[in-house]
Amino acid sequence: MSGAKETPRQKMIGMMYLVYTALLAMNVSKDILDAFDTVNSGVQTTNITLSNQINQKYATFEEQYGLDQEKVGPYWEQAQALREEATDLINYVEALKWDLVKKIECDKAKTPEEAVSMALERGLLKSADTLKNADCFQIETKLIETVDCPMFHDDQHGTACVVLAGLINATKLRGSKPEEMKIVMNGAGAAGIAVSSLLIGYGYKNFIVCDTKGAIYKGRKEGMNPFKEKLAEITNKDCIKGKLADVLKGADVVIGLSGPNTIKKEDVKQMNPKPIIFALANPTPEIFPQDAFEAGAYIVATGRSDFPNQINNSLVFPGL
C-alpha cells in the first residue's frame, strides 16, 4: 500500500478476500471427505488432485476481482497463511491416497483367509467390516502369527482403550477402587471380548459378561463359542446365572456394547448407589441418558457425539 491510507473500498475488498480464503480453507475438509468417499466407493484412482482444485478456486476468485497484494493490503499475509495451512492438509491427504485405494481392496474380502491374504499382499492390515465377529478374531490371530509388527483392530482394541479411559475417570469421580467394583457388560462380540480382557487386566476383577442368552459362566452350554469359552475362564468367578436384569442387582457399572433399549430404568434402580452407565450402542443406546439419570445414575456415557461423555473407538483410532 506504500504507506497510503486504506480506502473503504480497499478495506472491503481485503476483508472479502480474507473471508473467502478462510471459507475455502475450511472447505478443504469437505473436499477431503469427498476424496475419501470417491475411493471408498470403489473408484480406484491415484489422481486425487485436491491441490489443483483448491488453487484453481483461488485463481478464479483473484482473477475475477483483479486482486493482488496491493489491493488486498494488510489482509494479504493472513490470507496467505490460511492458504498454506490448507495446502499442508491437502498434501497430507495426497500422501495417504494410495493407502485408501488399497483399503477398498481389503474390504472386499469375504472370508478370514481372503482378508489375511489381501492384507499381507498389500501391506495393509485392515480387516473387513463385513466379516463376522468370530472371523475377525481368526484374522487377528493369523496376522499376529505371520507378521512382525503390532496388530490393532479398531473395533476391538480401540473400543477397549476408550472404555478403560472413561471408566478410570468415572471410578475416580465416584471415589471407588477398581477391585471393589462389580462390572456387568452386556455384549460378547468383538468389542465386548476385547474390553473385558483389558479391564480385567487393569484391575476390574469382579466382571460379568452377558449376551442374548444371559450371563456367561464356565460350564454354560447354550450359545457358546471358543471366544466365549475364554471369557468364561476369566470372568464371573462365582458362576452367577440369569438374564441381564438379574446380574445387574448390586452392580456398580454397566457397560452396554449390545443393542438399543436393552437396559431399563428398573435395571438401573437395582444397581448400587451412584451407578455408572456406559450405554455405547449406536445410534440408539441401551438406555438414553435422561432415563438413566431419572433412575438414579451418577455418570452416564454414550457412543454418540451429540450427548455429553462420548465413548467411541473413533476417539482412539487411528490416533493411538
Q: How many CB atoms lie within 10 A of CB 172?
A: 10
Q: What is the pLDDT of residues 306-318, one digit of tens each?
A: 899 999 887 876 6
Give residue 124's pLDDT: 47
Do 23 and 86 form a contact (C-beta atoms < 8 A)?
Answer: no
Burial of residue 132 (number of CB atoms within 10 Å: 0-12, 13-18, 19+)? exposed
Do 101 and 46 form a contact (C-beta atoms < 8 A)?
Answer: yes
State the cell numbers at 65.
476481482
Task: Give me the sign of the Cα torsion angle 12, 18, 21, 23.
Answer: negative
CA distance 288 to 307: 10
Q: What is the pLDDT of residues 258-292, one digit of tens each?
A: 999 999 999 999 999 999 999 999 889 999 999 99
Q: What is the pTM of this model?
A: 0.61
Average pLDDT over residues 175-201: 91
For all residues of the chain together, what is the average pLDDT? 77
Give residue 111's pLDDT: 64
State the cell numbers at 190.
468383538
Burial of residue 171 (number of CB atoms within 10 Å: 0-12, 13-18, 19+)? buried
Residues comprising the chain, all counted: 320
Q: In what order do the strands lie in the sheet with 182-186?
A: 214-215, 206-211, 182-186, 253-256, 276-279, 299-302
Where are the extended beta strands (E) located within the chain?
A: 182-186, 206-211, 214-215, 253-256, 276-279, 299-302
pLDDT > 80? residue 76 = no
Q: Which residue has the cell 507378521?
A: 147
CA distance 252 to 234: 19
Give residue 103's pLDDT: 47
Peptide bond into 112 cis (omega under 30): no
Provide the pLDDT confidence category of residue 69 given band limits of 50, 70 and 90. Answer: confident
Q: Would you list the DSSP string of 193-218? A: HHHHHHHHHHT--EEEEEETTEE--T
- How do strand 214-215 and strand 206-211 relate by DSSP bridges? antiparallel
Q: How far is CA 147 from CA 143, 226, 238, in A?
A: 6, 24, 38
Half-sphere exposure of 50 (CA within 13 A, CB side): 26
CA distance 286 to 260: 4
CA distance 228 to 108: 27
CA distance 128 to 110: 8
Q: What is the pLDDT of residues 16-68, one digit of tens each?
A: 666 666 666 656 555 555 554 544 444 333 344 555 555 666 677 667 666 67
Q: What is the pLDDT of residues 137-147, one digit of tens each?
A: 666 666 667 66
